Amino acid sequence: MITIENLVKRYRDFELNVSLEIPDGQVCGLVGKNGAGKSTTIKSILGLIKPDSGKVVVMGKNTADMKASDKQNIGVALAESGFSGYLTVNDVIAILKNMYDDFDEEYFRHLCIRFDVPLGKVIREFSTGMKAKVRVLSAISHRAKLLIMDEPTSGLDVEARNDILDILREYLKENEDCSILISSHISSDLENLCDDIYLIHEGKIILHEDTDRILSSYAILKVDEETYGKMDRSYVLKEKKENYGYRCLTDQKQFYMENYPEIVVENGSIDDLILMLTGR
């Protein structure tokens, strides 16, 4: 669905250089700290910025060659964009009708009612969470085969975040061949949604891993100085000095559980990957 090969975009104090792939029917998460390059990657995919070099292919076409008709099967929700605050959701419906040939008004209205989005109220009076719902509901309103979501849950409270994730989960159940690229720095949002995770840091992909494997095989080891000196560290991806000894990230949890029962082993998470592999 999306293939990026050696995409390079240079700014004065930042360079993006990434390769990644989102297959058909796959949900891929792009995680990393603020400023890591998530939004630049997504804007390059959408053709909103022109890369300095590299190749971006979306649904079989180079982004530079895509026409408006080619984008009918793409749904987009960007964190910093949305509809004018002076519009109502009823006004948005009229806009979406003109934008998408396959806009499903009944479906869109049903979801607005279900997730408590008022149709006649002007958007500038909405909460941050309500505005985010409008962006996501608009992106899925035409049954897009590819969804691109840039920080859809950023700045939201727990209830609003859960609503956004519920919308996406239900959409996936109803549209199993849909592919999604979703970026976030709230990694816990992605653990039960994504098939795999790309970790981006300082403009480069530093890890690509199946989400199931992250949750089942990765772990944090808490090791005292003596044990650290004697143990096999072949499967330690990164370590950090602590007052008790060392905090270590591994992708071979079972090996350390079986061979070093004295070590404290904590289940890994996407947050652990970010914190350990980005040097924090």
**Whose CA is closest to 41, among 149, 138, 139, 137?**
149
Alpha-carbon radius of gyration of the chain = 21
Q: Report the phi/psi class of residue 19: left, alpha or beta, with left for phi > 0 and alpha for psi in -120 to 50.
A: beta
User: pTM for the complete prediction?
Assistant: 0.91
What's the pLDDT score for residue 280? 56
Percent of the chain scored above 70 by pLDDT? 100
Tell me how far CA of residue 277 lies from CA of 31, 33, 186, 199, 273, in angstroms: 12, 11, 16, 9, 6
How far apart CA 199 and CA 88 sit, in angstroms, is 37
Domain locations in the chain as residue ranges: 2-211, 218-277
Task: List per-block mean pLDDT (blocks of 10 residues) for the chain, which spans 280 residues.
Answer: 95 95 94 90 92 93 86 88 85 93 94 93 90 93 94 86 91 92 83 92 96 95 95 96 96 96 93 85
What's the pLDDT score for residue 84? 83
Tell me how far CA of residue 280 lies from CA of 22, 33, 277, in angstroms: 28, 10, 8
Given CATH 3.40.50.20, say whether it is the number of domain 2-211.
Answer: no
What's the pLDDT score for residue 37? 93
Asked if residues 25 and 178 have their Cβ atoms less than 8 Å apart, the reply is: yes
Burial grade of 222 (CB within 10 A; 0-12, 13-18, 19 or more)? middle
